[in-house]
Structure 1
Amino acid sequence: MTLAIIPARAGSKGIKNKNLTLLDGKPLLYYTIQAAKKAKCIDEIVLSSDGEEILEYGKSQGIQTLKRPSSLSQDDTTSDKVILHTLEFYPQYQNIILLQPTSPFRTTRHIEESFERFKKRNANALISVIAIDNKILKAFILDDQDNLKGICNDFFPFMPRQSLPTCFMSNGAIYIIKSEIFRINPTFLPLNTDYYLMDKQSSLDIDCIDDLINAEQIIKGNIKCYNR
């Protein structure tokens, strides 16, 4: 059985009350809830929040809600703590899918394809990613003596880019992990972690007003991109 967790705290610095801010006339949270509700791989959805208005909206959408304490709703609260808190109330699920509401263009298809890949490859976890330029591997950092060293090793900075490994970055849209693995070691990157590649537009993460404006422009220019 698989539980989808949607973390949606009330506080937000970039956009006030971000999870309920309107995108094309609907709360940002709506898009993630709808994508999850139509995903056949998900058995139950729970919305974790400290905000009463957010929790009431979740109830209006026909999903489970779980009020979390203010100590788990701070700016520095990490998703692993939210998942562990949720598992205390929903211990029966074997798999967890974390769906952040700031990814409105992550669709049901993305959820189902990523879960199918997760199961087919018998992975312990899966992270949705976007491909990025591998020139980052040629970068330097400073060691504790203030000397330059390669960001990964001391060979990559001097290698041709075509010889460097392919690079990916998490887009924040989908995290899947086996519950028993997560309880033992609450990380999203255990051994045997697979990936699910998404395109740039589907990976749009709403963090600030400019992202919200961009999302509105995408919807007006290509309505199919967010149809479920």
Structure 2
Amino acid sequence: MKILGIIPARGGSKGLKRKNILPLGEKPLLQYTCESARNSKLLTKVILSSDDEEIIEVAKGLGLEVPFKRPDNLAQDTTTSLEVVKHALQYFKDKGESFDAVCLLQPTTPFRESELIDKAIQKFISDSPDSLVSVREVPHEYNPHWIFEEKEGRLSIATGEKEIITRRQELPKAYFRDGAIYLTKTSMILNQNSLYGKNIGFIDTTDSPYVNIDTPSDWEKAESILNTMK
């Protein structure tokens, strides 16, 4: 299976300015994802998608392929990951190159290992879902079956059930996306205009170090994790 790895890194981050190239430990943040992607044995090609010249130069210095500069209209706060992926696929289509799937790897989750990428791809190939995402288990106290919604001053169970599940042991597992890996069939992206589809596979990363960096406090957490990994 031909899989295009895309590392999206725009220049206009708001929560933490210039975060993609800020030094985390002894490396720019972007380098962590660059290294894990390049060490993957199952990604066919890995590229950077960015609108920012400085980020592009840093990426090239790391040996990352940068086939194009992303247009400004695809580097806004409102730009979706789907739009970024479709732009990259169209670029390669115009060059006569196609891929069976896309693997989106966000620099803001720096502690994802190349082994995890390959494990996710292997599961994606063997199970053949529309997409596969990396997830982490939701702590039981935040399980959606124990979450309430407010409507007109009254609470109701968020899942729509009339009776709450009383025992923790009876709660079904629930997960949230951790942002580390998104794998999607190209046909789903181009024909269904979706990064997910209806048949979504997953890989559980609950036991691995995790942060998704958006704010200064997230950055502090990343530095703390990095210190424990030395």
Q: Is this a same-fold pair by TM over 0.5?
A: yes
Is the Cα–Cα contact under 8 Å of residues 24 and 219 in structure 1 kept in the other structure? Answer: yes
Aligned counterpart, 1:67: 69
Shift of 1:191: 2.3
Q: Deviations over 1:37-94 (max 9, x none)?
A: 0101011111111101111122222222231122211112211111111111123011
| CA drift at 1:157 | 3.3
Q: Does structure 1 residue 126 correspond to structure 2 residue 132?
A: yes
Q: Within 2, Cα distance between the matches of 1:131 and 1:93?
A: 31
Task: Say which is worse superposed, 84-93 or 104-113, in terms of deviation.
Answer: 84-93
1:139 pairs with 2:139: no
Q: Percent identity?
A: 34
- 1:155 Cα offset (Å): 3.4
Q: Which amino acid aligns with 1:194?
A: G
Q: Residue deviations 1:143-200, cap 9 Å, x none?
A: 5x67644312123635433222110000000000110111112323212211000035
Q: 1:157 aligns with which of 161, 164, 173?
A: 164
Q: Which whole-Å CA distance do the structure 1 matches of 2:158 and 2:165 have between them? A: 12
Residue 18 in structure 1 maps to residue 19 in structure 2: yes
Letter matched to residue 78 of structure 2 = D
- Name the CA shift for 1:107/1:67 in 2 (closer, same or farther; >3 Å): same
2:190 to 179, 183, 193: 183
Output the amino acid matched with 2:22: T
- Give a deviation string over 1:88-129, Cα, whole Å, max 9, x none: 112301110000000110010110111111111122210000
- Using the alignment, how far apart are the partners of 2:163 and 2:17 within structure 1? 42
Following superposition of structure 1 onto structure 2, how do residues 36-55 of structure 1 map, counting pairs within 5 Å? 36-55=37-56
* TM value normalised by structure 1: 0.90
1:226 corresponds to which residue? none
SS at match of 1:181: helix
Q: Distance in 2 between matches of 1:188 and 1:5?
A: 13
**Letter paired with 2:104:** L
Q: Which runs of 5+ in 1 are unaligned?
A: 224-228
